[in-house]
Amino acid sequence: MSKSKSPESVKVVVRCRPMNEKERATKFERVVTVDVKLGQIIVRNPRLASAHEHPKVFTFDSVYDSNSKQIDLYDETFRQLVDSVLLGFNGTIFAYGQTGTGKTYTMEGVRNDPERRGVIPNSFEHIFTHISRSQNQQYLVRASYLEIYQEEIRDLISKDQSHRLELKERPDTGVYVKDLSSFVTKSAAEIERVMILGNQNRSVGSTNMNEHSSRSHAIFVITVECSELGVDGENHIRVGKLNLVDLAGSERQAKTGAQGERLKEATKINLSLSALGNVISALVDGRSSHIPYRDSKLTRLLQDSLGGNARTVMVANIGPACYNVEETLTTLRYSNRAKNIRNKPRINEDPKDALLREFQEQIARLKEQLERRSGKKKKRRPGRRAGEGGHEEDLEDGETDDEEEGEGEEEEGEGGDQGDYWREQQEKLEGERKAIMEDHSLVAEEKLRLLKEKEKKMEDLKKEKEVGEMLSAKVKAMESKLLVGGKNIVDHTNEQQRILEQKRHEIAEQKRREREMQQQVENRDEETLELKETYSSLQQEVDIKTKKLKKLFAKLQAVKAEIQDVQEAHIKERQDLEQSQNELTRELKLKHLIIENFIPMEEKNKIVSRAFFDEEDDHWKVKAITRLEDNHQMMCRPVSAVGYRRPLSQYARVAMVMRSEARYKAENLLKLEMDLPERTTRDYEEPAIAPNVAAALEAALRDEDEIQVDASGFHSSLGLTGGASPASAGGSLRKPKSGRSKTGKKSSAPTSPFSPSSPASPLYPQSRGLVPK
């Protein structure tokens, strides 16, 4: 059901940002020249002397210099893509480049400044303006916002931010994010709120927004579904999906000096980016049959945008200053390669999962339900009226008229009609109730019964009314989500603005054509040069050919230099990969070490036997523990033993209930004391100390005490020492005492005042005073 189109290339544009304050202050040299007319970027590498003669030239679909305006970028490059999304094509816009070169500026821009709004807000405006001008079409627009950070997908607009989403694949629709929330939006302001909400959640991950954004990929997805009556008289639905991608910074990790955790993170970011590079290479190469989409989440998710069913524009952002020249060249080479990717976009017509179809069907169902209800009520009405002598025909006519009225006004009209009907019914019932109350001919019982009946009827009526109202409210809510030009959504731009838009569009087209012509002229020039030349003399021929030779030689040199550059870039990339490989190997070794030394062999084997690789999730997983396989019988209870520990006969079961004796009780009845093992240990006993050792120890301890006491008031303690020490320990005491005092006094006094031979030496107090407290 979808129109096939011939393959078309990925469109690549390059945007160079202005020098920033810092670069201007440091007076960095500008090495990038942008030739807007020719669509060329010229880069001089100041580190290579030859570069001054042979600057590198890259040609792209279009290029933008530092003065480029957001709106020009949109009109010339993105408007066409968004238009085709409105037609039912898939579209993708990537921003690629080093951190701080303007990816987010290009994609989002400055929200509050209409002049500096980026692609995303401009596309909101564009989409809803388009819808407001449409005729006989119904639209449904919804938005999702997700982020890939360290190979994990996070839904930026869901309430639960801790949840990680998974990628799934279906043969008919391809890869999708499971459980990704999406908001149905009715206006540019509404969809902008989705973006703001997402951005807030994005910055939660880090205090420094740029730090975070340079490490994560953000994808804003707008799905536009459009239903239109086809030539075959059937409603057809076209679904266009627009992916707006702000990629992580492409700088090499070696330059950022990332280590440890940061390096691991960088490896993962680079994993997605290098996988993107590999996919691009494989697509462009033409020889490789395998495209490694599955290597990263990003490439899997954007599979359609790269060589598949989508139109793709890639914006390569670069900086102008010399210190970034390597990165700039890498970005340009990368983008140059991407130019050659060929996509096969086609209109997605009547896909199975169109939400619009679901909405339409549900609205139809609800309306039918409402109609059935109103049919019921109207049938009841003529019935009653018939009894009163009403005109059935008239009423039936009225009903059909009602239905054939224009759709827009109808709801109100029907609502009013319904209101009247309910009021009428209620009044009628009320009147009847009153009549019963006042009717004195009825018996009291009969009266009560009739009254009850009426009350019940009134209640039913109320309920029915509520259900009816709920249904019509639901229909209204659903219908308001389906956008129809000039009705749900009104175009506020006036005629002049529209003309202005048209003109801008024309100018953009003109510019594009001019650029293409210029590029063609350049190419032709070189080709025709050879054909035109006729030589009048041999000398002239030699001259001209020498000139040409020189020119070609220069070209050859340029190509050689390019080859060398590419090789160098390749080596650098390889070094980066090797570095991260080393890091990973080291970690692997550590883990191995831990496993080998600290995890028992059998535990390890158990885990190894349970581990398996989940292809779908791209992850290793561990199977749940069940013993089903190894012992099937163990797992099953005997059939007869439902609820009991062992099979029971019917007799036992009855006896269990009837008798109190223990025999038939199914549970354990014996309560046993725990069988404690005999004690094999003894209480701790202090080791016995030989009396002389004990005495020596005691004396030594006491001596310490005395020194303390001594220091506070030497007169009294002096007397005490003299009396106590010989009494308690005798000769054995002397040794430690004198030894201690000797070492303690070495510096202060050569003769020992502690020695018992001089118990009351007048020197003693002085020397004691020198002992530090």
Q: Select from 443, 445, 448 the least CA-distant residue to 433.
A: 448
**Residues 6 or more apart in contact with residue 422 via CB below 8 angstroms:** 461, 465
Q: State yes or no: residue 117 binds ligand ADP (CB under 6 A).
A: no
φ and ψ of 138, to 5 deg: -115, 135
Which stretch, 78-86, 92-100, 191-199, 752-760, contacts ligand ADP (CB under 6 A)? Answer: 92-100
Nearest to 72 by CA among 42, 32, 34, 36: 36
Residue 99 binds to ligand ADP (criterion: CB under 6 A)? yes
Residue 17 engages ligand ADP in binding (rule: CB under 6 A) = yes
Span 216-255, contacts to ligand ADP by CB under 6 A: 249
**From Mg ion, ligand ADP, none, interface partner of 317 (C-beta below 5 to 8 A by class):** ligand ADP
Q: Which two tokens stand for residue 103?
A: 């990816």
Where would I find the beta strands (DSSP E) of 152-268?
152-155, 164-165, 167-170, 174-177, 183-185, 216-229, 235-246
CA-closest candidate to residue 95, choices 246, 243, 215: 246
Q: How far is the CB of 100 from ligand ADP (least distance, A)?
A: 5
d(C-alpha 26, C-alpha 542), whole Å? 50
Contact partner at residue 292 from Mg ion, ligand ADP, none, CB < 5 to 8 Å by partner kind: none
**Candidate residues 68, 84, 98, 104; the one interacting with Mg ion per rule CB under 5 A:** 104
106 scored as a contact of Mg ion (CB under 5 A): no
Q: Which is nearer to ligand ADP, 34 or 302 (CB)?
A: 34
Name beta bridge partners: 141: 185, 224
Task: Name the one range near ligand ADP by CB under 6 A: 93-101, 128-136, 346-354, 563-571.
Answer: 93-101
Q: Which is nearer to ligand ADP, 101 or 129 (CB)?
A: 101
- Per CB under 6 A, 181 contacts ligand ADP: no
Residue 627 is classified by DSSP as -
For the window 39-78, what string marks contact with ligand ADP as x by the rule CB under 6 A? ----------------------------------------
Stretch that binds ligand ADP, among 38-46, 79-87, 100-108, 517-525 (CB under 6 A): 100-108
List 40, 92, 214, 328, residue binding ligand ADP (CB under 6 A): 214
Nearer to Mg ion, 213 or 725 (CB): 213
CB burial readout 550-582, b (16+ within 10 A) else e: eeeeeeeebeebeeebeeebeeeeeebeebbee
- At position 230, the amino acid (one-letter code) is G
CA–CA separation, 750 and 763 (whole Å): 11
Q: Among ligand ADP, Mg ion, none, what does residue 454 contact (CB within 5–8 Å per kind)?
A: none
Binding mask 406-445 for Mg ion (x = CB under 5 A): ----------------------------------------
Q: Applying CB under 6 A, does 103 fall inside the site for ligand ADP?
A: yes
For 140, the 3-state DSSP assignment is: strand
Is there a contact between 209 and 203 (Cβ–Cβ < 8 Å)? yes
User: Residue 664 carries which DSSP code?
Assistant: G
* Residue 319 contacts ligand ADP per CB under 6 A: no
Token pair of 729 as six digits: 């320990």
- C-beta of residue 212 within 8 angstroms of C-beta of residue 240: no
Q: Which is nearer to ligand ADP, 150 or 281 (CB)?
A: 150
Question: In whole angstroms, how close is the CB of 600 to Mg ion at the nearest point?
Answer: 49
| Six-digit token string for 523 | 């190419």
In whole angstroms, give the CA distance from residue 489 to residue 398: 32
Residue 100 touches which member of ligand ADP, Mg ion, none, C-beta under 5-8 Å by kind:
ligand ADP
The partner in contact with residue 752, picked from ligand ADP, Mg ion, none with C-beta cut-offs of 5 to 8 angstroms by kind, is none
Binding-site member from 55, 100, 382, 736 for ligand ADP (CB under 6 A): 100
| Alpha-carbon 271 to chain mean position | 16
- Joined together, the tokens standing for residue 74 give 């949109």
Neighbours of 39 (CB within 10 A): 20
Q: What's the closest the beta carbon of residue 26 comes to ligand ADP, in angstroms? A: 16
Shortest separation between residue 98's beta carbon and ligand ADP, angstroms: 7
Query: Closest Cα to residue 145, out of 197, 92, 198?
Result: 198
Per the CB < 8 A criterion, the answer to whether 435 and 344 are in contact is: no
**For residues 91 and 102, which CB has a smaller minimum distance to ligand ADP in the complex?**
102
Residue nearest to Mg ion (CB): 104
Instruction: Tell me which of Mg ion, ligand ADP, none is bound by residue 144, counting a contact when its beta carbon lies within the kind-specific cut-off of 5 to 8 angstroms.
Output: none
Rule CB under 6 A: which of 665-684 touch ligand ADP? none
Is 213 an interacting residue with respect to Mg ion (CB under 5 A)?
yes
- Quickly tell me which residue has 């020889």 as its tokens: 287
Q: Which stretch binds Mg ion (CB under 5 A): 213-221, 287-295, 298-306, 330-338?
A: 213-221
Q: Site mask, ligand ADP, residues 299-318, x = CB under 6 A? A: ------------------x-
The residue count for binding Mg ion (CB under 5 A) is 3
Shortest separation between residue 101's beta carbon and ligand ADP, angstroms: 5
Query: Where does this chain touch ligand ADP (CB under 6 A) — which range of 96-104, 370-378, 439-447, 487-495?
Result: 96-104
Q: How far is the CB of 195 from ligand ADP (least distance, A)?
A: 15
Residue 714 CB neighbours (<10 A): 16
Q: In 10 A of CB 108, how many CB atoms?
A: 21
Largest CA distance in the chain: 147
Query: Which of 102/753 has CB closer to ligand ADP?
Result: 102
Nearest CA to 8 out of 339, 349, 348, 347 is that of 339
Pair 225, 355: CB distance under 8 Å: yes
- In contact, 254 and 327? CB cutoff 8 Å: no
Residue 90 near which of ligand ADP, Mg ion, none (CB within 5-8 Å, type-dependent): none
Q: Binding residues for ligand ADP, how many (CB under 6 A)?
A: 14
Residues at the contact surface with Mg ion, assessed by CB under 5 A: 103-104, 213
Q: Which residues bind ligand ADP (CB under 6 A)?
A: 17-18, 97, 99-105, 210, 214, 249, 317
